[in-house]
Structures are given as structure tokens and as C-alpha cells.
Structure 1
Amino acid sequence: MTSTEGNSQIIATATKGTMLAAAIALGGLVAGPALAKQTDILETGSSLLYPLFNLWVPAYAKHHPELKITTQSTGSGTGISESISGIAQIGASDAYLSNAQMKQHPGMLNIPLAISSQMVNYNLPGLNHDHINLSGPVLAGIYDGKITKWDDPKIAKLNPGVKLPDHAIVPVHRTDGSGDTFIFTQYLSFSTPAWKDKVAYGTTVSWPAVQGGIGAEGNPGMVNAVKNTPYSVAYIGISYKQATDAAKLGEAKLGNRSGHFVLPDPMTVQAAVKATASKTPTDERISLIFAPGKNSYPIINYEYAIVKARQPSAQDAAALKRFFDWALSPSGGNAPHFMKAVGFVPLPKAITRLSRAQVKKIS
């Protein structure tokens, strides 16, 4: 695990009266007992959500010093498994639980906290300042070994006039259980039937053997792998855009369902949200990948907190409900300055209402 993925612990001290005043300022208290002693909460999982939690935790601790939140970047797969097992109170995940997982663990909640997107980055000497076009079928071809050179006719067709190198492509994939892998392979599955039939999607998949392909752990590992490997390509969460820019990596325009090529930005992400969010069910388990619309960015998703509805104590339940109440507030964790800092967009009001309804189930 890299230093950027280490634990972040926020501990402070203040009075019970300060805690109550801060809660009232946020629009009212969540039902439950007052927190008379320190409560320890472990958040672990998604490296895509990790930067946001590391902004949220110190901001929240200023008004709620009785709560100690420890954050870990371990990958969505670990976040899911440790929230189910009870090791962690919050499993951060880019992926929702499957039907099979929900049937096996019916007491779990999938609570969207924000909306993120995913980049496809590359290290092409001489072309990193350009935005080359890549599509789901082309990326599926790269990751299953059918497209092996950057100047392959299928890539050249998407990029007329661009002098692509006659060099082997180095695809980079995550080796840990990853929500980024989940949403990337959903994009490949939804855009390319052959990929869906052969590999499908998940937080882990059986990656086809590709000569020269490499694996990396976490989003920081993906950034470093592409930075250090000319002619490579990888999928990286938007909250690491500052890192990919610092590494001077290229960023692809991705083909959407309408055949247009777009970058992830507030306009294209919001277009995809508008096209898909209204279909969100009450349990909020839904894919937002490959949304219709000419301006829709094709890889966006809810960032989930995976949480047990039944907590081991009323103290833990009250602490979690207060934190999520703040995180979902447009004047709290969903405030524009938090979202902008990590490239996320806030939840639409209708989705915030659904998430708040789920938070009320915590006891």
C-alpha cells in the first residue's frame, strides 16, 4: 500500500453542547441517543472515495470531536467484505452489492454519497497532450489481446489524422478487488457483447492473458504504473486527476452510447446523471454506466457506503446516522467545494432523499 493510501485518523475534543449546536445548524438532529463518549468508526475500501473521505473527516471532526473516524484505502472489494463481516462500520465502494450478495446478507444497505466518474489514461510519447478517441469495443479488444498495437486500424479509424505509434500496447488492470474494475468492466460489457459473454464485470474478473499486460493495486498504483510504462493504458478514478495531470498522462475521450466522444467534466457527467438517475430504485442499487444522450459521459457511478442496517450498539448507530446526515447535506459533505476538489458531482435532490431514507434504517 502506498503512503497516500495509509490510514488517516481524526481525533479532537470538545463539549457535548458544541456537538448539539453543530447538529442543529445542519438542519436538525438524527434520532438517537446523544453521544456521551468517544465513538470509533472504521471506513475502508474504495481508493476512488478515499480522497473525499480524507476531506470530509477533518471537516466533520471540527464540530463532532466525539467521533473518531479512521480511513483506509483498501479497494472496494475489501470495503464490501469488511462491512459485511463487521470489521468496518463503513465499506466505501464504487460497486453496489449484487442480488446474490443481498440475498446472502439481507441486512446490508447500499447508500450513495456522491457521483463520480472514471478516466481512461495513457502514456503515449508525443501524444499525451492530445485527447485520443477510444471506445468500449476498442478497449475490450485491448484488454482481451485482440488489439495489440497503437496503430491498429480500429484505433486509427477513431482518430483520423493522428499519427499513432507502431508500438505494442501495455494494458494495466487492478489486481485488488476494485470498484473501478467493476465500473470499467461494466462499460466494456454494456458496449461490447463479446466481452460480456467472455469476461463480464465485477470487482474482480478473470482478465484475459495479454502479453506484456501488467497489474497494479489501487488508483495510486495505476497512476504510477502508467507513468513509468510508456505505451500503457489504464482506467483511473477521477479523484486522481491531479495525480494524472502531474504525471503528464494523456486522457482519452470515450465513446458514449450515442457514438460521440467526450471527456469527463461537470457537463457530461450531469448529462449522464439526468439520463439515468430517475431510474434509481429505493435500494439504490443501479448502474449508471453507458447512459444514453450525445453529451453523456459513459463511465459515471454512485459512490456507495456499504453499511449494516443493524449496528452492534445504539451509540454506533447514532454516530453513523449523524455523519451520513452531514455527508448528504448540500451545506455539509455534498457542498460544491468538497465535490469540486475530487472531481465529483453532488447527488440530485431526489437521490439524496432516497439515501436519507436508507440512513433512517440504521439502528
Structure 2
Amino acid sequence: MAVAGILNTPQAFARTVSVTETGSTLLYPLFNLWVPAYTRSHPGVRITTQGTGSGTGISEAISGVAQIGASDAYMSNMQVKQNPAILNIPLAISAQTVNYNIPGLNNVHLKLSGPVLAGIYDGQIRYWNAPAIERLNPGRHLPHHLITPIHRTDGSGDTFIFSQYLSFSTPYWNSHVGYGTTISWPAVPGGLGALGNPGMVQAAAQTPYSIAYIGVSFTKEVARAHLGTALLKNRAGRFLLPTKKTVGAAAAELVNKTPADERISLVFAPGAESYPIINYEYAIVNDHQPSRVMAATLREFLSWAVDTHEGNARKFLRQVHFIALPPRISALSRKQIAKIH
């Protein structure tokens, strides 16, 4: 009520409040659905969006260049210690697919696991018909062709959750490479780098025998590029695709473990039905804004975004293959949003 009162005053509408959002290319398609819908009913608010990668989203929210930093990754303990005013606010739940371009096999869901993907991305598994891949796909004729692994070159939340899957499932990767929005990728002959999710789709489409990790908001682009999508091995040993059921099952395993600051990995969750690479999609926001009007604008927009009748409604989320925040997480996000002043 107080927010509405501030924003509906003649003085507030006498000028436009301009908000900059930047960061995650996985969240970018959702913001581009949200912004036109929101600004139609809030003509005094202008929101610009940019898909620059989660690392940029976090850094520009910290520096004040952007009011909202979009990120698939939560801030590290060190980042939080250095920037105690910055909030990590989940807006929705997303997932990631592993996609490949194998001539003749892109219409097949190959089975892949964390250790096999770690072997591909550190160069220990070089060919598509390597024994480790064949064991997961008995009876499938796999080509004796070099694999081209593709990774993100920008600071990326997709890299963060993909490398978490490798780290949590593969001790060797965890001890030698680890996870983060940027990591030191092992040097694999022929490996490629790409910028953003659009770049990952394009590079995979243009490179036969390649493999890439891509956010689910680009499912349509993956389909148009005729890429294959892997069944990924979860902690319980089952091979699954990301669906509303499997993403929801993974989230449900960790809802009650989510802390008040909402920084938690949802990757490689327990449970037979849990898809292994899911995450909260975060708005990275400074709790102290330069004006009451900006603070009120952000509180109202972010509250709208997490409302299941508004931004978290199925009409928006289904278009990007996200799922809504569970009630407990929505309540935690609202408590964080209320801190913005």
C-alpha cells in the first residue's frame, strides 16, 4: 500500500523512473516477457534489459551501474562479506540441458552422467564411442569421432550450475577444476568458447559432433537448431529430462533447507525424480537505493515478479520452461524485497 502510494502520486508520474536490469542470458527471455506486461500497467516505470551474463549482472548490481543484476548463480560467501548490502532474491526456478550435434543422433536422447561430462570437458574422453559413453547407451551405434566441447567465455551462471553438477558428481573435477561463474577450463584440443546462451546454441548448431550446456529458456532455439538433448543421470542413478515434474521434485527436496538469504545450490538434489541441474534465478539488488522512489519502484516490481498471479504466473513461466517459486521461497523472497529502502 505504501509503495503504491508513493508511485501513484502526481509527482512520481511527472517523471519516468528508469531501471536497468542486466546479467543472465537464461533469465533474459523472461525479463523480456515481464517488462512489457509490467510497464503497460505502470507507465511511470521504464525498465531496460540486457543479456550480459550472470557475472556481469552481479558486478554491475554491486557497483550500482544496474539496479537489478540477473543471475543464475548466488553470490559467494566472500562476495557477500565484501558487499553486505547486496541481496540475492530468487524470482523463479530454472534448469539447464546438455545438448549435442551428432549427425544422425540428434533425434535421440543419449544418456550422459556427471563423470562422463567431466571426462569430456577435461579431455579424458575424446570420442563419442568411448567406452564410458557406450556403457551408458548400450545398443546405440555411436560414431568414432572426436567430441568438441563448447563452454561459455563470459562470466556465466550457466557455467556455475553446470560446473557444480560436475563437481558434485565427480570428485576429480571438484578437486582439480571446481565450480564458479568463471573457471579455468582444461585445455581440450578443438574445444570452443561461446558468448551467452545464444552463442552456445549457434556454436553447437554450426559444429558437428559438439556438446554444449544451454539454459532451458532457449529450448525453442535448441529445437530450431535440431540439437539433441541428453538424459542426465541424477543422484539416485536415474536418467531424466527437465520437466515440470522433475524440476519441481528437485526443488521440493531443498525448499526447507533454503536459508533466509536464499543462497543455496539446487544442483544434484536427492530424490528419484529429481532432475540434476536446476537453480533459483536471482535478482541481485542493493538493499540501499539512492532515492525513496527508486526503492519503492524496485519493491513493487520485484513483488509483482514473485506473485503467482502476476510475474510467476504460468502464462509467463511456461514460455521459458521455468517453474514458479514454492510458497515458502516466495515468502522468503518477499521478506528480502521488503528490505530495499
Q: Could you give the per-residue CA deviations for residues 130-176 of structure 1, whole angstroms, max 9, x where no partner exists?
A: 00000000000000000000000000000001000000000000000
Matched AA of 1:213: G
Match of 2:312 in 1: 334
Q: Check if 1:30 corresponds to 2:3.
A: yes
Letter in 2 for 1:203: T
- 1:118-138 Cα deviation digits (max 9, x unpaired): 000000000000000000000
TM-aligned CA deviation for residue 65 of structure 1:
0.8
Q: In structure 2, how many angstroms separate the alpha carbons of the residues matched to 1:202 and 1:30?
A: 36
Task: Tell me which residue corresponds to 2:92.
Answer: 114
Q: How does 1:5-44 map to 2 (within 5 A)?
A: 28=1, 30=3, 33-34=6-7, 35-36=12-13, 37-44=15-22
Per-residue CA distance 1:8-67 (angstroms, 9 max, x = gap):
xxxxxxxxxxxxxxxxxxxx5537723332100000000000000000000001100100
Partner of 1:121: helix, strand, or coil?
strand
Say if 2:54 is the partner of 1:76. Answer: yes
In structure 2, give the amino acid aligned to 1:30: V
Structure-1 residue corresponding to 2:170: 192
Q: Does 1:127 align with 2:99?
A: no
CA RMSD of aligned residues (A): 0.9
State the alpha-carbon separation in 2 of the partners of residues 218 and 61 from structure 1: 26
Does 2:288 correspond to 1:313?
no
Q: Which runs of 5+ in 1 are unaligned?
A: 1-27
1:300 to 2:273 alignment: no
Q: Which amino acid aligns with 1:350?
A: R
Secondary structure class of the residue paired with 2:172: helix
In the alignment, residue 224 of structure 1 is paired with which amino acid?
Q
Distance 2:36 2:59 in 1: 26
1:55 to 22, 33, 37: 33
Q: 1:29 to 1:58 in 2, by over 3 A?
A: farther
Q: Unpaired segments of 5 or more residues in structure 2?
A: none
- Structure 2 counterpart of 1:46, which letter? S
Partner residue, 1:205: 183
Specify the code of the residue in structure 2 equivalent to 1:238.
V
Whether the 8 Å CA contact 1:30–1:325 is kept in 2: the answer is no
Q: Partners in 2 of 1:55 and 1:89 — Cα distance? A: 18
Using the aligned pairs only, state the percent identity. 63
- Tell me the TM-score normalised to structure 2 length: 0.97
Whether the 8 Å contact between 1:29 and 1:322 is mirrored in structure 2 is no
Match of 2:256 in 1: 278
Q: Distance in 1 between matches of 2:315 and 2:224?
A: 21
Secondary structure, counterpart of 2:98 in structure 1: strand
Are 2:147 and 2:210, in contact at CA under 8 Å, matched by a contact in 1?
Answer: yes
How many positions carry a matched residue from both structures?
Answer: 336
CA distance in 1, matches of 2:18, 2:340: 16
Distance 2:255 2:116 in 1: 27
In structure 1, C-alpha distance between the alignment counterparts of 2:163 and 2:121, rounded to whole Å: 10
| Partner secondary structure for residue 301 of structure 1 | strand
Q: Is the 8 A contact 1:124 1:231 kept in 2?
A: yes
Q: Distance in 2 between matches of 1:210 and 1:122?
A: 17
Q: TM-score by structure 1 length?
A: 0.92
Q: Where does residue 216 of structure 1 map in the other structure?
A: 194
4+ residue segments displaced more than 2 Å: 28-37
Q: Indicate the residue corresponding to 2:209 in structure 1.
A: 231
Partner of 1:11: none
Task: Give the match's secondary structure for 1:68.
Answer: strand
Deviation for aligned residue 1:301: 0.1
Deviations 1:91-135, CA, capped at 9 Å, x for gaps: 000000000000000000000000000000000000000000000
What amino acid does structure 2 have at the position aligned with 1:311? Q
User: Is contact 1:32–1:314 with CA below 8 Å preserved after alignment?
Assistant: no
Q: Which amino acid aligns with 1:216?
A: A
Match for residue 241 of structure 2?
Answer: 263
The alpha-carbon deviation at position 315 of structure 1 amounts to: 1.0
Structure 1 residue 278, shift from structure 2 partner: 1.4
> Does the aligned pair in 1 maintain the 2:3–2:297 contact within 8 Å?
no
Task: Report the equivalent of 1:353.
Answer: 331
Q: 1:229 deviation in Å?
A: 0.1
Q: For the Cα contact (< 8 Å) 1:277–1:288, is it kept in 2?
A: no
C-alpha separation between the residues in 1 aligned to 2:176 and 2:170? 10
